């Protein structure tokens, strides 16, 4: 967009800062709104609800907003954390007793492996080759389809390194540490035992005895992202804190209909930037969900080796769908993305439609067979 007006393209890190600031400012606005809404009905609630309000309400000043927005932790690569999490970090004693070093070492131990895989794979399968003339003129259709797999592998390794290191910044600072009994969730923070949380937060002796974790800032699950068999499951392991932001600030605020997922993914694409590659990638996700739902139903009644075979099929479908989406996320420009997808005849879309029709046929046949067996 800047180049269109003759303005020099800004450094990459400025876009990252802008993206995180957007999440924080919008998220804070909803936190303030939720606080005001909860306080209006405070007199009608029980003690447990009042305790929950006390651990989630926010009343930031202008300086508080400024400091939260530009806090060095997560300013470029995340993870996203709420203002309330930031407030608790500064006011509660938990960071003094949380196992900050141990948590950091635990997260760091796989980073060298991810980094080595990234360096080797990116040297052997560079993304730039996918935009070269040789790639389209001398490589076969099947090679071009296959190339999305190592490209997505490189993309994952790069983001695993970045996201895990970003979590390490949080753990070293003690941000996001909460007692385990509160069962914190990614992005949100404590989900239960709010009365006990308030009691411990004001008593250093009690706080010292508790066990803590950093689930609040847990942003990426590399193992789950790679090996969970379903598309939905894989999505839930990826960028979890930002998915929380999208869920509470977009998805759950929309009417219950079939367009909620599409609208949420559109907002995610807008947040990423103006390149059409973002939109083609993220807005393709809702297309794969109904396909997966059909095969999850097919797999549900199976056992033994048949169930394992369907799990492998779902996993393979998930990884190829993500790879097909990721290539346009990386190519970004509309001319490059359309050129690539058209060179493989939009295989990801065509296969998804075929699988959906085939899956519906299998389900219909099973229901018919069950009905026949019952009548006999």
Residue 169: what pLDDT? 97
Please check whether residue 288 is in contact with residue 321, taking contact to mean a CB–CB distance below 8 angstroms: yes
pLDDT mean over 224-231: 95
Q: Which residue has the higher pLDDT, 124 or 53?
A: 124
328 located within any domain:
yes
275 located within any domain:
yes
313 located within any domain:
yes
336 located within any domain:
yes
CA-wise closest residue to 83 among 19, 17, 166, 175: 175
183 located within any domain:
no
pLDDT category, 375, cuts 50, 70, 90?
low
| Mean of per-residue pLDDT scores for the chain | 92
pLDDT mean over 326-335: 94
Q: Is the per-residue pLDDT at 43 higher than 80?
A: no
Phi and psi angles of residue 141, each rounded to the nearest 5 degrees, phi first = -60, -45
User: Model-level pTM?
Assistant: 0.91
Residue-wise burial string across 10-49, b where 16 or more C-beta atoms lie within 10 A, e elsewhere: eeeeeeeeebbeebbeebbeebbebbeebeeeeeeeeeee
237 located within any domain:
no
Catalytic machinery residues:
239, 272
pLDDT category, 14, cuts 50, 70, 90?
confident
Q: What string of DSSP letters covers 341-359? A: HHHTTTHHHHHHHHHHHHH
Number of domains in the chain: 1
Q: Is the per-residue pLDDT at 107 higher than 80?
A: yes
3-state SS string over 309-337? Answer: HHHHHHHHHHHHHHHHHHHHHHHCCHHHH
Range of the structural domain that residue 288 is part of: 264-375
358 located within any domain:
yes
Residue 40: what pLDDT? 80
Residue 301: what pLDDT? 83
Note the pLDDT tens digit of each residue in 285-299.
989 999 999 999 999
């Amino acid at each position: 967009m800047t180049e269109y007006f003759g303005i020099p393209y800004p450094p990459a890190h400025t876009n990252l800062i802008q993206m995180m600031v957007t999440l924080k400012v919008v998220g804070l606005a909803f936190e303030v709104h939720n606080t005001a809404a909860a306080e209006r009905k405070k007199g009608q609630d029980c003690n447990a609800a009042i305790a929950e309000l006390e651990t989630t309400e926010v009343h930031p000043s202008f300086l508080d907003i400024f400091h939260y927005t530009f806090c060095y932790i997560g300013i470029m690569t995340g993870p996203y954390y709420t203002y309330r999490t930031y407030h608790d970090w500064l006011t509660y004693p938990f960071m003094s007793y949380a196992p900050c070093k141990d948590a950091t070492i635990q997260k760091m131990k796989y980073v060298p492996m991810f980094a080595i895989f990234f360096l080797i794979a990116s040297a052997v399968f560079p993304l730039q080759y996918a935009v070269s003339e040789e790639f389209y003129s001398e490589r076969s259709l099947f090679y071009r389809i296959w190339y999305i797999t190592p490209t997505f592998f490189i993309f994952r390794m790069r983001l695993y390194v970045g996201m895990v290191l970003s979590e390490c910044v949080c753990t070293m600072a003690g941000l996001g540490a909460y007692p385990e009994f509160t069962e914190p969730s990614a992005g949100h923070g404590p989900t239960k035992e709010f009365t006990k949380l308030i009691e411990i937060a004001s008593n250093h002796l009690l706080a010292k005895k508790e066990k803590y974790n950093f689930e609040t800032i847990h942003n990426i699950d590399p193992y789950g992202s790679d090996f969970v068999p379903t598309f939905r499951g894989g999505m839930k392991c990826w960028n979890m804190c930002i998915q929380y932001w999208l869920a509470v600030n977009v998805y759950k605020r929309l009417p219950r209909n079939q367009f909620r997922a599409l609208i949420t993914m559109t907002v995610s694409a807008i947040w990423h930037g103006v390149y059409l590659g973002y939109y083609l990638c993220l807005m393709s996700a809702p297309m794969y969900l109904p396909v997966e739902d059909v095969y999850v139903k097919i797999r549900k009644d199976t056992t033994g080796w048949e169930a394992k075979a369907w799990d492998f099929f779902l996993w393979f479908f998930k990884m190829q769908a993500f790879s097909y989406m990721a290539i346009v996320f990386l190519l970004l420009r509309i001319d490059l993305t359309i050129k690539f997808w058209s060179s493989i005849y939009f295989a990801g879309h065509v296969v998804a439609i075929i699988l959906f029709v085939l899956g519906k046929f299998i389900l219909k046949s099973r229901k018919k067979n069950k009905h026949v067996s019952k009548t006999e």
